[in-house]
Amino acid sequence: MKKPVIKIENVVASTSLGEDLDLPKIALSLENAEYEPEQFPGLIYRIKDPKTATLLFRSGKVVCTGGKSLEEVQRAIAHLKQKVEEAGFPIPNEPEIHVQNIVASSDLGTPINLNAIAMSFGLENVEYEPEQFPGLVYRMYNPKVVLLLFGSGKLVCTGAKKPEDVQKAVDRISEELRKIGQLP
């Protein structure tokens, strides 16, 4: 059986620009910025390429979401840094980016029996309540991720810090499903 293709859907990363920022002033100079402090304490900055949303806080903390790769996140944060500097706030250091979460999807290529998987995998790492949610939640500890498995054979992996962890998790779940006869 060929390896399932993994598609990274979202990379969430954080950094700090290291400075206290004047968000009202920055909001005025950024196109596509939303700043409504009564609603949310941060400035929301959306860019089209790469298609991301960046949350910028007064403390200089930044959260970037929507990137499909670490490279896209790096480009988005570099773009934000440039725009903040153009608004009159020099950023002395290169922001150090920390991946907080990678969300990826894959397809095992064949339907799977979630009831059989829940019984085989045991209760300590599995949550399966089909009346509440149509997928089986499987907590993996090496790598430390959460997999959502669906009867169609599709899956979602969340909680990874690097793409290799997603690959390792999909390989491992595929092997475990083969052992219990759920995959060819």
- The count of other CB atoms within 10 Å of the CB of residue 139 is 14
Q: Is residue 1 part of a domain?
A: no
pLDDT of residue 18: 83
pLDDT of residue 1: 60
Distance CA 64, CA 76 (A): 8
pLDDT of residue 130: 96
Last residue of a domain, one of 67, 99, 131: 99
Q: Is residue 149 part of a domain?
A: yes
From residue 26, alpha-carbon distances to 1, 22, 29, 30, 78 in Å are 53, 6, 5, 6, 16
pLDDT of residue 3: 82
pLDDT of residue 132: 96
pLDDT of residue 19: 74
pLDDT of residue 31: 87
Return the structure tokens found at 173: 């779940």
- Give the domain extent around 48: 12-99
Tell me the pTM.
0.91
> Same domain for 54 and 131?
no
Q: What is the mean pLDDT of the chain?
A: 95
Map tokens 């290291």 to a residue.
18
What is the Cα Rg of the chain in Å? 20
Q: Is residue 41 part of a domain?
A: yes
Q: Which residues pair with 148 in a beta bridge?
A: 137, 156
Helices of type H across the chain: 23-29, 70-86, 114-121, 163-179
Q: Which residues of the chain fall short of a pLDDT of 50?
A: none
Burial class (CB in 10 A: 0-12, 13-18, 19+), 15: buried
pLDDT of residue 108: 96
pLDDT of residue 128: 96
Residue type, 162: K
